[in-house]
Amino acid sequence: MSSEDLENYETDMELALYREYRDVVGLFSYVVETERRFYLANHVDLQVRSAGGEVFFELTLGDAWVWDVYRSARFVKSVRVVTFKDVNVEELAKPDLELPG
């Protein structure tokens, strides 16, 4: 496999992941970004903890989707993340009325 083939494969995988994201984003209430991953979730519990003078974040997500091109199963029931970096949680806007297609 040439480097060009590998690059094309990775590009195709990223495009497929983006398309999956676009198809499922409407099923979720929150977007969560950590230092290592990007998630969609319907339940988010963020706790700020400290131990030994260090502050860290404990994040528990329920009914989630993980942005990871290498995961075969991106839908997960529960995720627990512990990080020392900032966590960004945004609530997604939901349309009040959806018209039938």
Counted domains in the chain: 1
Is a pLDDT exceeding 80 seen at residue 3? yes
Domain membership of residue 61 (yes or no) is yes
- Domain assignment present for residue 100? The answer is no
Question: Does a structural domain hold residue 24?
Answer: yes
pLDDT digits (tens, 9 = 90+) for 57-96: 999 999 999 999 888 889 999 999 999 988 999 999 877 6
Q: Is residue 96 part of a domain?
A: no
pLDDT value at residue 1: 76
Q: pLDDT-based confidence at 97, cuts 50/70/90?
A: low
Please report, for residues 27, 44, 56, the alpha-carbon distance to residue 50 in angstroms, rounded to integers and kept in the order given.
33, 20, 6
Question: Which has the closest alpha carbon to 27: 101, 84, 94?
Answer: 94
Strands 88-91 and 54-67: unpaired
Rounded to the nearest integer, the mean pLDDT of the chain is 90
Assigned domain for 50 exists: yes
